[in-house]
Amino acid sequence: MKNQFVFVVSILVIIGAGCASAPDESKKPEYGSQKAVSKDSMPARIQVPLADASTVLSRKEVPILCYHQIRNWKPSDSKRAKDYIVPPANFSAQMKWLADSGFHTVLPNELYAYLNNGTPLPSKPIMLTFDDTDLDQYTFALPELKKYGFKGVFFIMTVTLGRPRYMTKDQVKELANEGHVVGSHTWDHHNVKQYQDKDWITQLDKPTRQLEEITGKPIQYFAYPFGLWDQQAIVQLKQRGFLAAFQLSAKRDQTDPLFTIRRIIVPGSWDPGTLNHFVRSSF
């Protein structure tokens, strides 16, 4: 038990967490009825009156997993790097465990409607997110998602589009056409806490327009680079019509929880048992 405790603490430090203590399972609110929300019935731009922060915070959090690279480790990969690189065999095992355990993937529109007005989610909801536009997300992760009927959220860093080892515009468009959600992850992954003046145009406005041109759909969800955010960023995102934003596992903002939705980075060493522990205890 001592070794397990040390492992859990070390993982939280690695992923830059500040994660709140796991709530008492017996006191967690429910997701609503077991009837799933039809994705086809969700409008392109949801018109749901914003709930107050306390209402959003009172709803049970949905587990949201964050992936980066999905490839085998190389001798040159550092210990730190391996926490962001999930070997394909591990990723496959995790997806199979989620499917065998009865999890249903949900997309941001569904999460947004649930957090705002309690629109029911399917039983055992989970969200799968992918950051940074890595090509292996398309070549390997996408077929695994298809195998189980899962849908994902791909946060695109537009500076990398078409570069070696990254997705092309056509591949991003294909993701959107197949029912996955494309979100913004800035132009070149700079920390939003350092933005000034025209940086918001470079890092938010131009990438948003480009992604909307590629997908033909509104870009309404954002993932903070490094999971770092501040109040200025929230204001800027709201002014630009974003509906929600995703950080990592730090405590949610008590005023704007929709713009500080928590995720957990899945380290490359996790097996389904470890994933199970964090999914059940961290949200």
Q: With respect to residue 7, please indicate whether it lies within any of the assigned structural domains.
A: no
What percent of the chain lies above the pLDDT cut of 90? 80
Give 107-164 pLDDT, tens digit per residue: 999 999 999 989 999 999 999 999 999 999 999 999 999 999 999 999 999 999 999 9
Give which of 179, 180, 184, 239 is closest to 211, Cα–Cα: 184
pLDDT number for residue 21: 36
Domain count, the chain: 1
Residue 55 lies in a domain: yes
Task: Note whether residue 185 is domain-resident.
Answer: yes
- Residue with the bigger pLDDT between 265 and 46: it is 265
Q: What does pTM read for this prediction?
A: 0.85
- In tens, the pLDDT along 64-88 reads 999 999 999 999 999 999 999 999 9
Measured CA to CA, the distance from residue 189 to residue 130 in angstroms comes to 14
Residue 242 confidence (pLDDT): 97
Q: Residue 282: CB partners within 8 Å, gap ≥ 6?
A: 19, 22, 63, 249, 264
> pLDDT for 86-122, tens place per residue?
999 999 999 999 999 999 999 999 999 999 989 999 9
Residue 23, domain member (yes or no) = no
Q: Is residue 28 part of a domain?
A: no
The boundaries of the domain holding residue 98 are 48-281
CA angle centred on 163, ends 263 and 105, rounded to 5°? 30
Assign residue 221 the CATH number of its domain.
Answer: 3.20.20.370
Is 63 contained in some domain?
yes
Beta strands in the chain (DSSP E): 64-67, 104-105, 125-131, 153-156, 181-184, 221-223, 244-246, 264-265
